[in-house]
Amino acid sequence: MFRKIATPVIAILIFLGLWELLVWANGWPNYKMASPSDLPPAFWKYKELFFVMGWQTLWRTIVGLFLAVIVGTLIGMIIGFSKLARDALYPLLIGFNAIPKATLVPVISLIFIGQHDFNTILMAFMISFFPIAVSVGIGLSTLEPEYRDILRALGASKFTIFRKIALPKTLPEFFGALKVSATLAFIGTNLVEIVSPHGRGLGALFKSGETNGDYPLMFAVLIALAFLGIILYYAVIFLERVFAGWADREGN
Amino acid sequence: MAAPFTTKGNSIENLIEIKGARHAYQTASGPLPVLDGLDVAVPSGTFAAVVGPSGCGKSTLTRLVAGLMKPDEGEVWLHGERVTGPRKTVGMAFQNPVLLEWRTILDNVILPLEIVAPTMPRKDRIARAMELLDMVGLTGFEGKRPSELSGGMRQRASLCRSIVHKPEVLILDEPFGALDAFTREDLWQTMRDLRAAEPFTAVLITHDLRESVFLGDQVIVLSGRPARTQYVMDVDLPADRTLDVLFTPKAADMLHVLRDQIKIAQGRDVEGQA
């Protein structure tokens, strides 16, 4: 247990040490590259803003991710169970996913003008539902027919088969995708926060650091974002342990 | 060849009866006939082994009996009733044990009871499952996950699951096909013991002629695709047979006849008549 916590902590400390060394050895001023020692003062100076903005970023990301889970799972179920839907929807989904989401920021801010919270959540959702939809779809469509037949031969309904077999069997793939989606959702949130004028959240704080030439603040925001990303990632890991812990084979 | 069909409600001689089944799958390149005049009659309480060349439609036969599909032509009867869809009185086991990885062995065995007997108290379900696990030698493994068991043990658990709800008909689709030779012989004996203790009528699909003779009361040879019933052999060996029986001249003669029949089914000449 001690090793489990100590190992990543030591790795982070080594990383920060190397970063500090790099900046010191090159003699870079903090407007070129801030060093780790610049960060605590930056955090301290804006500590209230970090809490307020960090919370805004976090809740909007989580709501967007939550929507991505619901809609992604639904789309995954549709393309997983129906070959017709799969043939029809795959090109659309892939095309949509291929669009750089930054290009959609002006589009959605024109459609939903002034709805900053809504736009941010929408972007977090749009950027993160794809991996979930694809993995659930693949999980369901590759279910071996024998799994279905053992219950179907007893006259079980489609819903019972889904609940007792297809759904739990897809959970490991689902959580694999959710880990990817959780970090993607942060990208979506920040995209809107940074690009749209009068934004809120950590993205807006980053933008104001840039406007005011406060480089340590910009780096501090990046670290805060990384920190939130790590928290959300481990929250997903925790849920995975609870709901799909059986897929984790000890010793393998 | 098949015993005469008895009408509904009368004393039923054949628990499973397939008469003149014909079926073709629709594929992109036109219909692919898989069954062309399949007749199967399995008397109540007996064990029918079905052998035939690869891809001849043996699995289609299991799906017909299970009510998972209907033939284009012909009739499938179970217990004097026309099969029109799935029924709760069927149990299935496959080559792949298809255990649910997120459930313990005990809860895997219980699964059919959750569908067939939703009101049965959990205590009774456990008692029934434990009785079967004991019979196949898995006592002490009920709390393990499938991934912690060997292939043979998983297949034992799968067999328990297929009969936990006391099905009238047990359908075995090459359940021992993926096991090594020694484990397979162990499971043959387990199957023989289960048969003596449980009341099912069984259809066993297999590629192994020794298996068909050891477990079957009759061996049905199907022709190459599209399959028809080519040959039926009654296995005249004692019910409590041991593996030694396979080394008797009588069994050797039966195996020889079956082997020749398989060659005919494959479209090859009987050996020596090239």
Contact at CB, A146 and B90, closer than 8 angstroms: no
Burial of A119 (0-12, 13-18, 19+ CB in 10 A): buried
Inter-residue contact B155 to B179 (CB < 8 Å): yes
Size of chain A in residues: 252
Nearest Cβ partner of B68 from A152, A168, A249?
A152
ipTM of this complex > 0.85? no
Residue of A154, A168, A169 with shortest CB distance to B112: A154
- Interchain contact, B67 vs A153, CB within 8 Å: yes
**Closest by alpha carbon to A153, among B211, B115, B33, B42?**
B115
Q: Dump pLDDT digits (tens) for A177-187.
A: 999 999 999 99
How buried is residue A146: exposed, middle or buried, by Cβ count under 10 Å (0-12/13-18/19+)?
A: middle
Q: Which of A149, A151, A171 to mutate to test the interface with B (most CBs of B within 10 A)?
A: A149
Written as one letter, the residue type at A139 is G
CA distance B91 to B78: 13
A40-247 sits in which CATH class? mainly alpha
Mutate to test the interface with A, among B63, B115, B147 (most CBs of A within 10 A): B115
Q: Supply the pLDDT for residue A178.
A: 94
Whether A151 and B88 lie within 8 Å, measured CB to CB: no
CA distance B167 to chain A (A): 10
Domain extent listing, chain B: 12-88+206-274
The verdict on domain B12-88+206-274 having CATH code 3.40.50.2300 is no
Which residue numbers of A have CB closer than 8 Å to B's CBs?
Answer: 144, 146-147, 149-156, 160, 164-165, 168-169, 171, 244, 246-247, 249
Q: Which residue has the higher pLDDT, A247 or B93?
A: B93
In the block, tokens 């008692």 appear at: B127
Residues of A in contact with B86 (CB under 8 A): 152-155
| pLDDT per residue as tens digits for the range A122-179 | 999 999 999 999 999 988 888 888 888 888 888 888 888 888 998 898 998 899 999 9
Asked whether the beta carbons of residue A149 and residue B100 sit closer than 8 angstroms, the reply is no
pLDDT in tens, A182-213: 999 999 999 999 887 777 889 999 999 888 88
In the block, residue with structure tokens 């933008």: A207
Looking at residue B2, what is its pLDDT?
43
Determine the pLDDT at residue B10.
36
Amino acid at B118: P
In tens, the pLDDT along A76-114 reads 999 988 889 989 999 999 999 899 988 888 888 888 877
Is A150 in contact with B68 (Cβ distance < 8 A)?
no
Q: Does B101 touch chain A (CB under 8 A)?
A: yes
Residue pLDDT, tens place only, A3-52: 888 998 999 999 999 999 999 999 988 888 888 988 898 899 888 999 99
List residues bridging with B170 in a β-sheet: B91, B202
Asked if the Cβ–Cβ distance from B98 to A164 is below 8 Å, we say no
Are B114 and A155 inside 8 Å of each other by CB?
Answer: no
Across the beta sheet with B169-173, what order do the strands follow?
B90-94, B169-173, B201-205, B47-51, B218-222, B229-234
Q: Within chain B, which residues score under 50 in pLDDT?
A: 1-11, 272-274
pLDDT in tens, B114-140: 998 889 999 999 999 999 999 899 999
Whether A164 and B85 lie within 8 Å, measured CB to CB: no
Q: Which residues of A touch B88 (CB under 8 A)?
A: 154-155
pLDDT score at B121: 92
> In chain A, where are the structural domains located?
1-33, 40-247
B48: β partners = B203, B218
